[in-house]
Structure 1
Amino acid sequence: MTRSARPSQADRVYSELRAKLLRGDLPIGQRLIEQQLAADFATSRTPVREALRRLEGDGHVVRDPAGGLCPAVPSVRSMRELYDVRLALEELMVRRASVSGDRGELEAILQDWRALEAERSGGRSHHGPEFVHQDESFHERIARAAGNDVAVRMLRDLNDRIRILRVHDFTSDDRVGATIADHLEIVRTVLEGDADAAAAFMRAHVQRSALVVRERVGEALARMFEVSES
């Protein structure tokens, strides 16, 4: 394999293996063996090793006591607790932004998400990790527009903790479209200065995301147990 071919092979293995992990296609406790994966993906062990390194960094796989890599098991309880904290913080930030937010930053947020909406209408697909980061940026920018740097840092920390779970939220084009629509509704309401409405829209938005994540994580967990018992 040439040097230039390795990244594309590693990217392919990473993408396909990550999709299997998110779907729960691999049983709980199953060790991921480089040689077997190389055979499964019709490649050498080097791109498999690179893909596994990235997946471990993302939190999709974890090391067992013996040092082998296994699928990470999502924690529903941890997700619920983190979303509770996120919800309280997000509501406070949109209220502050509605009353005394930086209008220049808020207008920029509105324009950026209108552009995303136009791209999606034009047929460009937005999903997976790329969109997760765009979504995180929206919420951090609202906090920044509210003038609260501490809240920005707290949201960034929360996002780091729940990112592996939130990827489950953006596996369909419908969810991406709904999120774009929610964001536009939230920022427009903030610009109108209606703090109560903005907080209500933000609460519904975050709760909807938490519900979708919980359902899809539950489905993945159920599938992981089914595969391990088969």
Structure 2
Amino acid sequence: MSLSPRSVRRTSSLQEQAYQALKTAILSGELKPGQRLVETQLAQQLQVSRTPIREAIHLLEHENLVSAESHGSTHVVTLSVTDAIQLYDCRISLEQLSVTGACQNATQAQLKELETMVKQAEKQVSSQPNQLTCFRLLDLDYRFHRLLAQSSSNRWLISLLDRVFDQMQLLRIQTTIHNPDVLEIRTEHRRIYEPVRDRNSEEAVRAIVAHLNASKERVIKEVQRLDCQKT
């Protein structure tokens, strides 16, 4: 569990340590979308005063991971259908640059690592969807797409995608908690990896766009379903 006293070490600023602990808890799903953040409780869990907690929450609000209500309470962000559409539109544009750059610049070591991730995802094909499988696939999906970006050797692209990936992680947790089938990467990643390995940028772009559009459709349907349950 990330929200424990050992999460906050005294070797760096308490604000930074509290920020990292809370961000990890949000992006791992320990703090769930919509969950209220109570400063006194968080301070007690991390064994710090309320000041670094308040400052950490302010930083997370700036990153759109936490939202403040008009009456003063704060919650982990719950993303809307519009948010999902816009995030995927950004990803589709940015990740076309990722695979194009990866086709040109990926090292043999990076290609080998991508292949390993593809095989790890494919091993889950026979597994019944459950929370453990879901989190394994979430981690594999993030690492696969981030390594594609790193393989492009475009540091600005990596920086932009890191911001998008944080929001996407929140969106995936929001949807896969209720429906693990939303995260279906077990066969789709190979279709991206193979043209990158073969340095075929045109086919790699087609594969990444198809993959992200399919993912977009699944996620939007799940967000809409969850919204209907609230009404």
Structure 2 length-normalised TM:
0.64
Which of 195, 201, 204 does residue 195 from structure 1 map onto?
Answer: 201
- In the alignment, the residues of structure 1 paired with residue 185 and residue 170 of structure 2 have an alpha-carbon distance, to the nearest angstrom, of 18
**Residue 127 of structure 1 corresponds to which residue in structure 2?**
134
**Residue 114 of structure 2 corresponds to which residue in structure 1?**
109
**Residue 221 of structure 1 corresponds to which residue in structure 2?**
227
1:210 aligns with 2:216: yes
* Residue type at the aligned position of 1:191: R
Aligned residues: 189
- Contact 1:73–1:221 (Cα < 8 Å) also in 2: no
Q: 1:142 to 1:169 in 2, by over 3 A?
A: farther
* Residue type at the aligned position of 1:215: K
* Residue type at the aligned position of 1:64: E
- In the alignment, the residues of structure 2 paired with residue 94 and residue 218 of structure 1 have an alpha-carbon distance, to the nearest angstrom, of 30
Runs of 4+ in 1 over 4 A off after TM superposition: 14-18, 56-63, 69-73, 122-125
Considering fraction of residues, name the structure with more helix. Answer: 1
Alignment of 1:10-21 (within 5 A): 18=32
Give the SS at the match of 2:134.
coil
- In the alignment, the residues of structure 2 paired with residue 87 and residue 162 of structure 1 have an alpha-carbon distance, to the nearest angstrom, of 12
**Residue 184 of structure 1 corresponds to which residue in structure 2?**
190
Higher relative contact order (CA 8 A, sep 6+): 1
Q: 1:69 to 1:85 in 2, by over 3 A?
A: closer
- Contact 2:121–2:137 (Cα < 8 Å) also in 1: no
* Residue type at the aligned position of 1:222: C
Q: Encode CA deviations 1:40-95: one digit per residue, 9 max, x unaligned.
A: xxxxxx79x96xx9xx9798875432234568553322332222121111012112
Give the SS at the match of 2:133.
coil
- In the alignment, the residues of structure 2 paired with residue 153 and residue 70 of structure 1 have an alpha-carbon distance, to the nearest angstrom, of 26
Among all aligned residue pairs of Structure 1 and Structure 2, give the percentage whose two residues are the same amino acid: 21
Report deviation, 1:144: 0.9
Q: 1:153 to 1:218 in 2, by over 3 A?
A: same
Give the SS at the match of 2:153.
coil
- In the alignment, the residues of structure 2 paired with residue 192 and residue 82 of structure 1 have an alpha-carbon distance, to the nearest angstrom, of 29
Consecutive unaligned residues in structure 2, runs of 5 or more:
5-24, 46-52
Give the SS at the match of 1:180.
coil
Q: 1:94 to 1:72 in 2, by over 3 A?
A: closer
Give the SS at the match of 1:199.
helix
- Contact 2:117–2:140 (Cα < 8 Å) also in 1: no
- In the alignment, the residues of structure 2 paired with residue 122 and residue 193 of structure 1 have an alpha-carbon distance, to the nearest angstrom, of 32
- In the alignment, the residues of structure 1 paired with residue 174 and residue 212 of structure 2 have an alpha-carbon distance, to the nearest angstrom, of 14
**Residue 48 of structure 2 corresponds to which residue in structure 1?**
none
1:155 aligns with 2:134: no
